[in-house]
Amino acid sequence: MRVKPISVLVLGIFICQAQSPITTNVETKPSLPNNPHPHRLGETFKEWLLAENSSVNSICAEKDNKKACNTLKDIRFNKRGNFLDASGITWKFSDGRLMGTDPVDAIGSGMKIYIQPQNGFESYISAAFFKKHVPATITQNQEEAQFTLTSVVLAREESGLGKIARCAFLYCIGIEGIQTATVELISPAKEVVWAYNVRKSGAHSYQSTAEAIAKHLLAEVFDKYNKQLLGY
């Protein structure tokens, strides 16, 4: 049977298309250069498992992972505990969230904190975070933050008669007034995970107050977990 030339052309195009490799444009996200693990402080236990491309059930299905299986089950149920992985990193969980690692630099980026506006006092807190080297990322997008830091600041200046009275009987102590501040670290579940109250002399001691907040947050939240003082 004689094939018409136009049919041969069509057949040749079909064969060429069938043999040509199919290419697709796949968009890939760049990995963090200084972060060996795709994790962040403050992520939930479920998010941690997703980043590990694993699950408690899949780990428990392996015969040689009985210890790891029991540890992860305990963390899932009690929402706290330590897990030592095969690479030698200890992951520390509390309140259902990743709060630290050993070694401490296993995670390159810190938890994201949104500082709630408070008449400009949030700027002092932000600056204090950098000065005190708090390992957290401050974000202005509340939706992408893992925690929210709220604050209430009260300042009271001494009256003219009060200053005279204090100078007469108390050697002028407190004539500049006082400032008190209360801060709370709120989780996405609207739970208070940390709180602190500070009182400073001077009604305008915003920098000193903010630095005290950053100092105690570093010691009572970050250092507490990274130095294994959790008690479990």
Residue 226 is inside which H or E element, if any?
Answer: helix 223-226
Residue 42: per-residue pLDDT: 77
Residue 29: per-residue pLDDT: 32
Domains of the chain: 45-106 (no CATH), 111-226 (3.30.160)
Long-range Cβ contact pairs of 72-80 (< 8 A, separation 24 or more):
75/45, 76/45, 79/45, 80/230, 80/232
For the chain of 232 residues, list the mean pLDDT of each consecutive stretch of 10: 46 44 36 49 85 86 85 90 84 84 58 89 93 86 88 76 54 67 86 89 85 90 55 34
pTM, entire model: 0.51
